[in-house]
Amino acid sequence: MADLFFSKSDPVADCNRPLADRMRPQRLDEVTGQGHLTGEQGILTRMIEARSLGSLVFWGPPGTGKTTVARLLANETDLAFEQVSAIFSGVADLKKVFETARARHMSGRQTLLFVDEIHRFNRAQQDSFLPVMEDGTIVLIGATTENPSFELNAALLSRARVLAFQPHDAASLQALLARAEEAEQKPLPLDETARQVLVRMADGDARAALTLAEEIWRAARKDEIFNAGQLQNIVQRRAPVYDKNQDGHYNLMSALHKSVRGSDPDAALYYLCRMLDAGEEPLYIGRRLVRMAVEDIGLADPQALGIANAAKDAYEYLGSPEGELALAQACVYLATAPKSNAVYLGFKRAMQAARKNGSLLPPRHILNAPTKLMKAEGYSKGYRYDHDEPDAFSGQDYFPEKMGRETYYQPYERGFERELNKRLEWWRKLRAERQRQE
């Protein structure tokens, strides 16, 4: 497998290759940032020691080494390496790869097939891997940035182990930059603050860090040292990794929602700004704030829904960037409001009861009787108009007769729901008194 990587001693080839490619690890123990997989006790290290490599799915963000590790595994287990991309390949391309792998298998050698962006294959295309995996023709390694549980067939997942690749932390990226400086035999022309900014810009992506470093070396004049502001002007700041339709979108929205629910306005503002900075549609955030108001605050603070709705409307009226402040204001209000999911839970209980009990007729005394026949059937008979009753409360039963009374809404002793609890308790007592009088 010597053709997998350029020789480090080939200066002609090196000068034409990007720094990120030149810095690719040559052995598994050189891989940084994935110690849980490639370290001394890592699962991939153990597989190589056992000379037994099963099919795998590498799940993780860009620039974490998925492709590099797949190549190294093929190299260290003496498997033939084939690579396809789901973006550019179809069924015909896969058939050719499978035919080549079968011929190779007949001669006693397995093929490691690396499929980049495997989640982009449709269900039928994913199924095409199953026969060649089962008969040992190929060892499949699929790489995906998306959650395999949602994007890959259950049949494929049952035959492959999912390994999660983690974003590089700051220490890992600093170590990588130090290695690049050693390989290039020159320091990065950055002061300490700018170096830290560079690491943040890389956003856990090793390839991005090395690409940015290469841009900086190209831009620097002799003896020039860049500060943080100059760095951002030179590289024009790399946008955060964020796919508005996939995991990044849902992860940050989940973090925002849970921060609001957890009454942490600072964390909530941070995730709100993360999403806005990454280009999320502000109206989507506004709609989600409305949902938080009714799900997690409810009647503990009846103003919460109005404020969330007003923020959404204000953004629609003002647009960006002015309207974003209205979203921030609503976000802080919701995070600092008293919390209650009592209405949310009561709604779920009532919905379950509605589905369980079917089309039961309401009690006849609360049904209107616009015809003589309906009056003869007892519709509206015995109905008591609450406003004519003492305390404007009749205490009548409004549930279907075959059900009996049930309780769905159970407010907490928090915020405005304390007042609602007092009202409900008062009506319970009045209802019991009316029933005794009858």
Q: What is the DSSP string of 294-328?
A: IIIIGGGSTHHHHHHHHHHHHHHHH-TTTTHHHHH
Residues of CATH 1.20.272.10 domain(s) within the chain? 247-336
User: From edge to edge, which strands make up the β-sheet containing 80-85?
Assistant: 80-85, 111-116, 138-144, 56-59, 161-164
Q: What is the pLDDT of residue 14?
A: 59
> pLDDT-derived band of residue 15, with 50, 70 and 90 as boundaries?
low
Instruction: Say if CB 289 and CB 312 are below 8 A apart.
Output: yes
List the beta bridge partners of residue 140.
Answer: 113
The pLDDT tens digits of the residues spanning 91-117 come to: 888 999 999 999 999 998 999 999 999
Q: What is the pLDDT of residue 1?
A: 35
> pLDDT-derived band of residue 296, with 50, 70 and 90 as boundaries?
very high
Average pLDDT over residues 251-263: 94
The reply to whether CATH 3.30.360.10 applies to domain 342-437 is no
The pLDDT tens digits of the residues spanning 322-367 come to: 999 999 999 999 999 999 999 999 999 999 998 888 788 888 888 8
| Residue 185, φ and ψ in degrees, nearest 5 | 60, 40
Residues of CATH 1.10.3710.10 domain(s) within the chain? 342-437
The pLDDT tens digits of the residues spanning 132-156 come to: 999 999 999 999 988 898 889 999 9
Per cent of the chain over pLDDT 70 is: 94
The reply to whether CATH 1.20.120 applies to domain 170-235 is no
The pLDDT tens digits of the residues spanning 47-59 come to: 988 888 899 999 9
Q: Report the alpha-carbon distance of residue 276 to residue 315 in Å, rounded.
A: 13
The pLDDT tens digits of the residues spanning 300-334 come to: 999 999 999 999 999 999 988 899 999 999 999 99
The reply to whether CATH 3.40.50.300 applies to domain 2-164 is yes
Residue 80: C-alpha distances to residues 4, 24, 66, 392 (Å): 10, 19, 17, 84
- Higher pLDDT residue, 263 or 402? 263
Q: Report the alpha-carbon distance of residue 393 to residue 396 in Å, rounded.
A: 8
Q: Report the alpha-carbon distance of residue 336 to residue 306 in Å, rounded.
A: 15
The reply to whether CATH 1.20.272.10 applies to domain 247-336 is yes
